[in-house]
Amino acid sequence: MIIMKSDATREQIDHVVREIEKYGLRADVSMGDFRTVIGLIGDERRIPFDHFSVLPGVKEARMVETPYKLISREYAKLAGEGGDRRTIRVGDIEIGGNEPVFMAGPCAVESKAQLFTIAEGVKKAGAHILRGGIFKPRTSVHSFQGLGAAGEDEAIEALEWMRQAGDHFEMPIVTEIRGEGQVDLVAKYVDIIQIGARNMYDQDLLIKVAQKKKPILYKRHFGAGIEEFLSFAEYMVAEDNKDIILCERGVLPLGKGKSYTRYTLDLAAVPVIQKETYLPVIIDPSHAAGRRDLVFNLSCAGIAVGACGLLVEVHHNPEEALVDSQQQITPAELTDLIATCRRIRKAIGVRKNGG
Ligand code: PEP
Ligand code: MN
């Protein structure tokens, strides 16, 4: 990391960047209110820090060992960007601000009528952002794979329904990209690109999605430690895209015998991650629980531990849903959930230091 003097000139900053590139690394230039900090992307052991510390305009040059330095609070603080939380603006919505943001919609888009019915319901319930899966990651090849699996025309049609529903009900939209081949198409339609839990480790996908320069909803893999999750998030930030919303959606349950929940919601991950980084964190109670009777409780708990928002699966007729029918709640249930979560946030407030 290279910390520039507060009066460093543009030329001096550019010179340091060129020097970094000479050693085969890339630079992330963070211009804060007080000073510029330059993060190094690549193997820092190749950098002669003594040489860098005497370059014109440089205040300090030092090695940073953490694998996720560009998203660390320390990095943002040094640049004088406050180091609190990044707020990601999507249309009129602010993710990471004082109010919790609710993303809701069906697990999978099934038809235009289904999507519009649910979009209307979640909007009325108070949701801000519409979700809907078109390319579904499924464990079994024999189950419904989402409308996108039927072919490009079907994928485009479903993406157009999402766009129309989002515009009609004034909600930005989010959908998942499952593979690199879908990135260019999906990025044309959506406001936020989702990277699902199963793809958390796909470096090439992360880089390609990040290069679209759109906000990304990035889900933790169910077997990933927090350090791994943050380290892989760093791949996207290294592509100069800091609009990453991290999502905790449950880790694998422990022990033998019947599992009472689909996954185990790692609630502590929320304040832990928010202390480590400035990126906003949300909770997905639906996939964590895997059963609709727990979604309300887990949502309340998520907001209570400081999540910036929730991603909730909602269906007007959950029993009939083609995917994840056991965990989707109704728009009426979402109304109660959102109202209660808002009361909880009001009672607790937003803790600036990651709470
Ligand atoms: C989803 O949100 O549609 C989804 C498949 O979730 P996850 O990637 O967390 O399993
Ligand atoms: Mn689902």
230, 273 in Cβ contact below 8 A?
yes
* pLDDT given for residue 352 in this prediction: 62
Closest atom, ligand 1, to C-alpha of 176: 3
Closest atom, ligand 1, to C-alpha of 247: 9
- Between CA 301 and CA 341 the distance in angstroms is 9
**Cα 103 to ligand 2 centroid, rounded to whole Å:** 13
* pLDDT given for residue 228 in this prediction: 98
176 C-beta closer than 6 A to ligand 1: yes
**Cα 196 to ligand 1 centroid, rounded to whole Å:** 5
Q: pLDDT by residue (tens digit) across 174-228?
A: 999 999 999 999 999 999 999 999 999 999 999 999 999 999 999 999 999 999 9
Q: pLDDT by residue (tens digit) across 109-168?
A: 999 999 999 999 999 999 999 999 999 999 999 999 999 999 999 999 999 999 999 999
Q: Does residue 16 carry a pLDDT above 60?
A: yes
Token pair 């009528």 in the structure block, residue: 113
Closest atom, ligand 1, to C-alpha of 311: 2
Residue 64, SS3 per DSSP: coil
- Please state the pTM of the whole predicted model: 0.96
219 C-beta closer than 6 A to ligand 1: yes
- Between CA 75 and CA 109 the distance in angstroms is 40
**Cα 190 to ligand 2 centroid, rounded to whole Å:** 18
Q: Does residue 268 carry a pLDDT above 70?
A: yes
DSSP secondary structure, 36-55, as one string? EEEEEES-GGGS-HHHHHTS
Q: pLDDT by residue (tens digit) across 216-266?
A: 999 999 999 999 999 999 999 999 999 999 999 999 999 999 999 999 999
196 C-beta closer than 6 A to ligand 1: yes
- Between CA 33 and CA 306 the distance in angstroms is 27
> What is the mean pLDDT of the segment spanning 31-51?
93
Cross-strand partners of 58: 4
* pLDDT given for residue 74 in this prediction: 87
329, 292 in Cβ contact below 8 A?
yes
* pLDDT given for residue 355 in this prediction: 46
Average pLDDT of the chain is 95
Q: Measuring from atom 10 of ligand 1, which residue has the nearest CA?
A: 197
Percentage of residues of the chain with pLDDT beyond 90 = 92
Per-residue confidence band for 82, with pLDDT thresholds at 50, 70 and 90 = low
Token pair 């009066």 in the structure block, residue: 7
CA 18 to chain centre: 32
Nearest CA to 300 among 346, 337, 270?
337
Q: Does residue 267 carry a pLDDT above 90?
A: yes
Higher model confidence: residue 274 or residue 350?
274
Q: Does residue 342 carry a pLDDT above 50?
A: yes
* pLDDT given for residue 79 in this prediction: 79
